[in-house]
Amino acid sequence: MKLEKGIPLIDQHDENGYWGGKFGGNQIAESLNYPIEELTREFEKLRNDETFIAERDYYFKNFVGAPTPFIKLENLTKHLGGAQIYCKLVSKATGGAHKAYNAVVHSLICKRLGKTYIGGDTGAGYAGKMLSMAAAKFNLKCKIFMGAKDVERQSINVFSMRSYGAEVVPVNSGSQTLVDAVSECMRWWTSENEEAHMCVGSTVGPTIFVKICAWSTAQISREMKKQVMDEFGEVPKDMKLINCVGGGSSAAGFWNEWIDYDNIELIGVEAGGPEGSSKHAAPLTNDSPIGVLHGATQYVIQDDQGEIEETDSISAGLDYPGVSPLHCFLKETGRARYTSASDEEAIEAFQLVSKNEGFVSPSLEPSHAFAEAIKIAPKLSKDTIIVVDSCGDSAKDSKIIAERLGYKI
Amino acid sequence: MTSSTLIKSFERAKENNRAALLTYTVGGDPDKKTSLDIFKSIADAGVDIIECGLGHGANIGDGGAIQDSTYRALSNGIKTNDIFEIIEEFKKDYETEVIIMTYQNKIMAYGEDEFLKRCISSKVSGIICVDWPWPLNLEFAKKCKENSIVFIQLLCPTTNEDRLQSILNDAHEVVYYISMLSTTGQKLKVSSDEIKKKFNLIKKISPDKKCIIGFGITADTINDFKDTDACVVGSALCREITRSIDEELNPATNVGNMVTDLKQKLSS
């Protein structure tokens, strides 16, 4: 399995949609074949259409708030000694995370397809919240599928989605979490695809959804490349880019422009779950078996019967049993290194970063990435640059973190 | 238990001037013994082919009624081997053909070759895999053929004519036409005539292939399909199992009665 230079990562799949001939694909019911072919054709056209690109950039700039800041974490660098730590503060994007990019692009595509109805899945509620925001802006009817358990524990986000006019559908099947929400959303689309468009909330699902999502979040590295040049005057010789990985949409976007730079190390941090627990959401780190989930081949946490196993992580955004085919490919080609951080390490990282930096207060997802940075930075020289993608803001996790730390709010 | 005996089931029905009747229930729902009783009861009621679901929790094609059946079986600890054992036991006493409907990850986890071996030893004559579309399934379909198991390709209303031609060209003796764009068990949202129009097109391209029609067919509409090759009723039966369990009645008896009624409606 080999990575090609000079070809965008999202285009390095074969004619059947498999990266490295193995990961991804369109393992879908025959009734989804036509809408997927239609969407594939339309997207290939749009990504080369200057007016569409201009429209995307306009909304990214004026609504999502691109570019997000690229800053040096001086206090944390000093505290840890060793490598210099920088941060791409994607949490400053409208809505508080990177999910807005994919939501805006899917809404624009939906309109171009002449459809007036959009549906999507959500776990913690971020993808659903941003999709309902975008749908409201673009006058689209919106339906969000969310596991019944998540509806309960993320009630604030559910309220937001409903405020934007979206219909939130609690999914009562299976574990009643993200994995079931995605399944139900795909079932819905199977019935409604003549009138409706589907947005998959991460770089997962059939190939075209992986591509659209990564193409959208690539905005993160596109703007960052310029910021890096402004800061250092050149691409640093020794740079490490650390990102959390659940489905993998944020990491795919954060790394996209840097894949061809061999001197830049890409580190993905999965959710290791509670310390001492065998449950985790780290299929790459723990070499989970390869299987088919939501229409794509990938490493997936499953039992010997092929049944998807429940995952456990303090971070709802990383709590997904599968992982993007893009990351399976990057792992297999050795281009990226994947590791995991436990719930406890993530909480400690959240505390250390917040206490030292104030303006940067990562949500539990990027706290996993910070945990890795904190682990390796002291051992590295000051010539090494570490950049962490702080892809979410801690406000949404206040209650969970406070409870963990023994505060009542 | 081979492709030729499966075809005979269609031909026998045709001799009686009707379409073959297929039932879909989830293997192991609600447990091994009851599931076997249900199969026997369905067979006694005169079904032509039993379609046995090897359920998958993260399925993307099942409607609510079948999902309920699947979760009931899975949460009672039913494993792939249990399904094969139910079929094996059933086939000791019955000639009725059994085909399996499942999802790709169930086959992958079991191992493709092992899965086929076990199909042969338990006398399964056909396989439908919902999320393994043409042409990705061709290699596996070939393995099925080598083992005299019919791999049943799926077709649907939005399969365009080029694709239809290609799929039919590669298809084995039996194909399955998904009558409408939906998951299983939703109300029929297209007319029976419209479905038959597509059925006739399929038959025009491939007169020798048997075409099963499925999705949305109930006791109310089944007679409309009398002059086709075959039709499936599934969700209504799964719902009946759920109702019987909830009301502490015998699911095997009730599902059997339902199949007797369906068969009668299809024959009248």
CATH number of this structure's domain B3-267, picked from the four choices 1.10.10.10, 3.20.20.70, 3.40.630.30, 3.20.20.10: 3.20.20.70
Do A286 and A318 form a contact (C-beta atoms < 8 A)? no
CATH number of this structure's domain A65-96+218-404, picked from the four choices 3.30.210.10, 3.40.5.50, 3.30.465.10, 3.40.50.1100: 3.40.50.1100
Please state, rounded to an integer, the average pLDDT across all residues of chain B: 94
Query: What whole-number distance in Å separates Cα of residue A326 and Cα of residue A214?
Result: 9
d(C-alpha B146, C-alpha B191), whole Å: 38
Contact status, residue A297 vs residue B107, Cβ threshold 8 Å = no
- Letter for the amino acid at A118? I
Single-letter residue type at B115: F
Helices B32-44 and B80-93, interaxial angle, to 10°? 40
Any idea where the domains of chain A sit in the sequence?
A: 29-60+99-214, 65-96+218-404
pLDDT tier at B184, thresholds 50, 70, 90: confident
Q: Do B159 and A295 touch (CB under 8 A)?
A: no
Tell me the average pLDDT across A67-85: 98
pTM: 0.96
pLDDT 10s digits, B134-171: 999 999 999 999 999 999 999 999 999 999 999 999 99
Question: Would you place residue B3 in the very low, low, confident or very high pLDDT band (cuts 50, 70, 90)?
Answer: low
pLDDT above 60 (res B253): yes
Q: Which of B71, B110, B135 sits opposite A174 (nearest CB)?
A: B71
In this prediction, residue B228 has a pLDDT band, given cuts at 50, 70 and 90, of very high
ipTM, 2 dp? 0.94
Provide the token pair at B257. 């009665």
pLDDT at residue B205 is higher than 80: yes
How is B138-203 classified by DSSP, letter by letter?
HHHHHHHHHTT-EE-EEE-TT--HHHHHHHHHH--SEEEEE-SSS-TTPPP-S-HHHHHHHHHHHH
- B133 with A30: Cβ contact below 8 A: yes
Q: Which two tokens stand for residue A92?
A: 């400053």
Contact B132 A30 (CB under 8 A): no
Bridge partners (DSSP) listed for residue A271? A281, A341
The third-level CATH classification (topology) of the domain covering A29-60+99-214 is Rossmann fold (3.40.50)
A contact test, residue of B54, B82, B112, B158 with most A CBs within 10 A: B158
- Nearest-CA distance A63 → chain B (Å): 34
CA dist., res. B254 & res. B240, Å (int): 7
Structural domain spans, chain B: 3-267
Interface of B with A (CB under 8 A): 56-63, 67, 71, 74, 79-80, 103-110, 130-136, 154-160, 163, 178, 181-183, 186
Interface test with B, best of A204, A292, A310 (most B CBs within 10 A): A292
SS3 string, A194-210, reads: CCEEEECCCCCCCHHHH
